[in-house]
Amino acid sequence: MTVLKTIANICLVLITVFAVLVSIAFVYYHFFVDDTTTGVNNIDNQVGMDIQEILKDDELTEEERDELQDRYFLEVNYYSNDKNNGIQLQELKMNYFTSYKLTLQDYRSTGMQYLGDYKGLPLDTWDGNSEVSVVKIGSNDRYYGTSDECVKIANDYVDKSFNYYDYTQGVAWNGVTDENGSIATVLTRKTEFIIKIDDRAFAISLNKYFDKDVGDVRNIFGIGWKVGEKYNRYYYTYGSLFQSCMQAVRTNSAGYGDYYITVDLSSLFSIKEYDTETGKYKTDNVTDIIKTYSVLKFHYDENGARSSSQSMFGIIDNNSKYDLTQDKVDTTYWQERMTYNLNAQSKLNGLPVWTYRYSQVYEGYFVSLSMDAKKIFNEMPRTKVNITFNVNTDTDKQIVGLDYNAFENIEIDTLTINGNGRFYCLDKSLFGTSLQTLKYSGTIAMDISSKAIDTEYAEVVL
Amino acid sequence: MRWWGYIICFVLIIAGVFCGIQLYKEVKAESYVNGSIDISNKFSQESFKYKSTSAVFYHDLYDDTDTYYFEKDLLKTENFDGEKRTYKVMLNDYNLFNAEISAGAVFAVVTIDFYDTQGQLVKSADMNVSVKFLSNKTQLTLATVGNENAQFLEQYFADNGFKLQIIEIKEDLN
């Protein structure tokens, strides 16, 4: 019996020791390890949607892929006008989802635009005559600006200094009106954005504040004395976020350009994770996630903004045709064509663009476009090709004409032959080229096969 | 062991169980919070790629050549070597195969013709494209002469975007 009791006591002591160790581990982890940074999270994790899945969609164009890859929660576009050649333009865009399904259809952006250098202050709801709203038990500390009325004022506040735009399906618009309500996202402290981090949905809202000691001084007949602490509550708004972002961009060490930075949003935003299984928010404290996972993508320019095309919304001051260009001309056109001017010295990524075939019959070289060049031209949508040969001096090879299938449906605008002698165009050498103009020196004798070309063209003797 | 010894053990075990549960919750609940973001701010996949939804040309008041510029200082591009490697230069969908490529720079002259609805040429705009791969940054410059050329090019880039790529060719020419 004594032996059993001894064994039981030993077990009890061992369990107790283990419990003490667990307690120590908890205290250590809770107070010393909790905020340790470990591992690497790629910047792609900041993208507001599951890019990897969506990018597999074959129906996406390259432009759509580029656009999707570049979406982050915060984006800033800042034209500083340091060169004094436009206007100062500051823009902030937030990309988010409208539901926890996190699908492409739920994707939306809302942005703020300010013409000039925005200088705002945190919202002060205290009018100076407010009653003491909260008094801590056992102290004389007073808190102003905390009443339900103040909170309501703060939560409903919309800074009218800005132009607000929503962005859906590639089009930006302003749907905010004072009198008729709004069909756009209104940025207040109650606004909740759904963002995606590490494949999980989080709801974030800009609802933080800070209390500032303004001193509680009693004053009788000009004699004042401090009786306790008096705090006024200041509420952060989207203007605070806007100003902080512009400050971050303005002071970045890389200077002008396009960069990414990580920003700590924890002093402005609160965040909670959505549990898709229960349909409720989790209660875990996940504030740290917006300390380390928030990426701000920005464009910082030394020029001033001059055209609405420079806005990330395509609009400046609610005007999609905003343009400060002087001596404006009508630039409407139907189609553009990229012009390529080729001659015997032209290179194709450093390699010859022409191939030469020697003919003993004609005692010279017939020229044709290389297969690689034909392939490249066929892949380009609209090109205008002008070709100029000087048959006597261009190369060490005596060029005597265009070879069979020299161009194979590559469209040519103007073909110019300089020099002297006879120049042959063999069968199908200009088939499918839709040649517009053939120019040649008066000293050149053109010998064009009747089957060389299948379209009409103009001839010009130089 | 005395009776109070059992009580102490009991209290410590209860505390241990509580701490263990909390430890488990914290590790599990906040493990994904730990992390840092790797932002290299460097070009990696391709040698150089710049894209924008527009390009606006500016004219320096003190420049009497009537030249309009679009200039960008971009991040340093790693490993560009025009002498040892072969590159292709793409402007939107167009292959600028005639581009002059030197050790640390790319230069090309492009001509874009604009036609009206009658098919008549209304403007032919020349533009110089220059990319310099410097030790601390990449310098992109577009230049054109004349206000009208600049406006037509701005319209073209507003309609089609601006995407310039300089891609190393390893096997296939295309």
Give A461→chain B minimum CA distance, Å.
Answer: 23
**Residue A138 structure tokens:** 């056992």
Q: State the Cα–Cα distance between residues A213 and A143, nearest whole angstrom.
A: 9
Identify the CA nearest to A399 among candidates A407, A409, A389: A389
Whether the CB-CB separation of A438 and A460 falls below 8 Å is answered with yes
Which residues of chain B neighbour A338 with C-beta distances below 8 Å?
94, 110-113
pLDDT in tens, A127-152: 554 444 444 444 555 667 777 888 88
Q: Is the pLDDT of residue A451 over 90?
A: no
Q: State the Cα–Cα distance between residues A88 and A301, nearest whole angstrom.
A: 10
**C-alpha angle A156-A162-A163 in degrees, rounded to nearest 5:** 110
Interchain proximity A36–B34, CB inside 8 Å? yes
Nearest to B30 among A12, A16, A288 (CB): A288
Domains of chain A, by residue range, sit at 1-35, 49-310, 338-461
How much of chain A exceeds pLDDT 90, in percent?
Answer: 22
**Residue A309 structure tokens:** 């095309």
pTM greater than the 0.90 cutoff: no
Mutation target for A interface from B2, B121, B127, B173: give the one with most A CBs within 10 A. Answer: B173
Mutation target for B interface from A36, A47, A329: give the one with most B CBs within 10 A. Answer: A329
Give B161→chain A minimum CA distance, Å.
Answer: 9
User: Which residue has tokens 């800042």?
Assistant: A78
Q: State the Cα–Cα distance between residues A210 and A221, nearest whole angstrom.
A: 33
The pairing of beta strand A383-390 with beta strand A412-418: parallel
Q: State the Cα–Cα distance between residues B159 and A291, nearest whole angstrom.
A: 39
Mean pLDDT taken over chain A? 80
Q: Is B169 on the interface with A (CB under 8 A)?
A: yes
pLDDT in tens, B73-132: 887 887 889 998 888 899 998 999 889 999 999 999 999 999 999 999 999 999 999 999
**Residue A214 structure tokens:** 């303004």
Q: Is the pLDDT of residue A245 over 80?
A: yes
In sequence order, what DSSP letters do the residues of A78-89 get, joined into one string? EE--TTSSSB-E
Identify the CA nearest to A297 among candidates A43, A50, A63: A43
CA A431 to chain centre: 46
pLDDT in tens, A47-101: 433 344 444 455 556 665 555 555 578 899 999 999 888 999 999 999 888 888 7
Output the pLDDT for position A215. 65
Q: Is the pLDDT of residue B40 over 60?
A: no
Which 102-161 residues of chain B touch chain A by CB within 8 A?
110-117, 119, 122-124, 137, 147-148, 151-152, 154-158, 161
pLDDT-derived band at A278 (thresholds 50, 70, 90) equals: confident
Q: State the Cα–Cα distance between residues A360 and A355, nearest whole angstrom.
A: 17
* A2-28 vs B3-30: helix crossing angle, rounded to 10: 40
A-B C-beta contacts closer than 8 Å: 213
